[in-house]
Amino acid sequence: MNRFVKLLLASALLACTVTASACSGGAERGESQKTPCSPETAAPVKTDAANATPAESTEPPAVSEVPSGAEKWINACGDAQRILMTYEQIQAMNASIRAKCTALTDIASYPESMSKSELTALIESSSGPSLPKYDEDGIEITAEELAEIRENRNLDALEETNSFRRGVTIQRTDIRALPTARAFYDRASVQDHDRMQESELAAGSAVWILHTSRDGAFCFIQSYYYVGWVDADDIADAEGSSDWDAYARLLNMTENASRDLRFAVITDPLLEIKGTKLDMGTALLLSETQSAESGTYRVLLPGKDADGRLTHTETEISAAAASLGYLDYTFRNFYIQAFKYVGTPYGWGGMKDGVDCSSYVLSVFKTFGFVFPRNTSQQNGSVGNITNTEAMSEAEKLSVLAEADTPALIYQSGHVMIYLGVLNDVHYIIHAPGGGNVREDAYDGFSSLIRICGVGPLK
């Protein structure tokens, strides 16, 4: 019996309300469950091939309390503790995603130099938004000002052969289409889509520094999922540092790259430690020495010295906000992580510390070790078991979802949602809608779906 049928049966028993009760076979308490892993253990997750039985943690489940919206879904799911995919299966899916999506870049094998013509073409691949546009003060941006920003790309400084340097982000940073922090809004009075914003990039990300703006304030970088301009203050020079290799491996851009690393994964939507903002899914290397106090992990927070070189500061983070290695991919953990974002403001490209629809999905699944592309158009052509539903009837689409026994992503043109299932004959999603906050919604827009992507073992 698949999960959604079970939910239907559960809803009949729950009538018009959903009561709070522990999942069958699950823990009594309401925290995310993670694979048993001590700070001295190298393996980030349990990798037993057999996963037919529900996994239960043998250490106190000390991550975070269940968000109120997640509880009814956990309670209605009879197998919420079942391991949906092992570490190896997730890595196999990541390999499949990389093969289908050319936007994902293996940082570790990136070329260390480019010719002038190659790098010029890469930099000019984004000329920025067209006018008219308005900045954060509602002032219209002139053609002369846009031309000056484009001049800041410093193309005249490129040499016939341009060598690159390794870098690490030391802060959650914005990736911009051009080297400017000035906002480019479509209207003076509506400031929800900065057209200069490409994406956010998590702290602790290995990158290549390809070029520097004329004013020195921005670096043109290649990250694992985007190329663009970032604030130079947010990048540490890691050339010659062995730690850069570890950060590159944490990106999971080659199969099993992270297996032997010791790290913690942020499980809160946005955690700030010593001024550093850490997104959900951000991986931080563990210190060699761990605190004797329970309930905390000692991690290495990336920073830089006066010369701009990569350094680290040891700091402690609460186990309520992080996991040792990746979380077990179970329905229980999935619902908890998805609902933690409820109320988070929408932010186009991650602007203003928010999330957009695709970054929300990416971050939730990142806590389990998945590596998704950044944009919806890239995700719906590469993630999981893909069903093209454009030519299907609504009944056929519902049939595909009814057969799913793992979490599913559903895509409309330009928008991705997490399909939750059915309660009391109503279909539900959770998503980051433009102009609003992350929220759970009843859903009846199946006629507009173009893809259904099941995030389960590859078929």
Interval 271-305: pLDDT, tens: 999 999 999 999 999 998 886 667 899 999 999 99
Residue 289 covered by a domain: yes
Question: Can you spell out the DSSP letters for 172-202?
Answer: -EEEESSS-----BSSSS--S--TTEEEEE-
Are 193 and 186 within 8 A, CB to CB? yes
Dihedral angle sign, alpha carbons of residues 226, 341, 86, 245: positive
Radius of gyration of the chain (CA): 22
Instruction: Tell me the pLDDT band of 256, cut-offs 50, 70 and 90.
Output: confident
Residue 33 confidence (pLDDT): 52
Residue 307 covered by a domain: yes
Residue 202 confidence (pLDDT): 98
Q: Out of 44-58, 112-126, 244-258, which region has the weakest mean confidence (pLDDT)?
A: 44-58
Residue 64 confidence (pLDDT): 57
* Mean pLDDT value across residues 183-207: 96
Residue 445 confidence (pLDDT): 94
Q: Among candidates 181, 186, 119, which has minimal Cα distance to 152?
A: 181
The whole domain housing 309 covers: 263-324
Residue 420 confidence (pLDDT): 96
User: DSSP assignment, residue 350?
Assistant: G
Question: What tokens were used for 373?
Answer: 């592309």
Question: How many helices and strands, by DSSP H and E, does the chain display?
Answer: 10, 22
User: DSSP assignment, residue 345?
Assistant: B
- Model confidence, pTM: 0.87
Question: Can you spell out the DSSP letters for 435-448?
Answer: TSB-EEEE---GGG
Residue 171 covered by a domain: no
Residue 387 covered by a domain: no
* Mean pLDDT value across residues 416-430: 95
Q: Could you report the per-residue pLDDT of 1-50, keeping only the tens digit for each? A: 444 434 433 433 333 333 332 233 333 333 455 543 433 333 333 322 22
Residue 38 confidence (pLDDT): 36
| Residue reference for tokens 């522990």 | 22
* Mean pLDDT value across residues 168-193: 96
* Mean pLDDT value across residues 322-331: 96
Residue 71 covered by a domain: no
The total of structural domains in the chain comes to: 1
What is the phi/psi pair of residue 168, to 5°?
A: -135, 135
Share of the chain above pLDDT 90, in %: 79
Residue 258 confidence (pLDDT): 87
Q: Could you report the per-residue pLDDT of 70-111, keeping only the tens digit for each? A: 999 999 888 899 999 999 999 999 999 999 999 999 999 999
For the cut 80, the answer to whether the pLDDT of residue 331 exceeds it is yes
Residue 273 covered by a domain: yes
- Mean pLDDT (the chain) is 87
C-alpha dist (Å) from residue 52 to 33, 59, 85: 17, 21, 10
- Reduced to 3 DSSP states, what percent helix, strand and coil does the chain have, rounded to the nearest 5? 25, 25, 50
Residue 294 covered by a domain: yes
Residue 188 covered by a domain: no
Instruction: Tell me the pLDDT band of 217, cut-offs 50, 70 and 90.
Output: very high
* Mean pLDDT value across residues 250-274: 92
295-312 core/surface letters (b: 16 or more CB in 10 A; e: else): ebbbbbbbbbeeeeebbb
C-alpha dist (Å) from residue 434 to 102, 158, 192, 246, 345: 27, 39, 8, 36, 9
> Which of 61 and 445 is assigned the larger pLDDT?
445
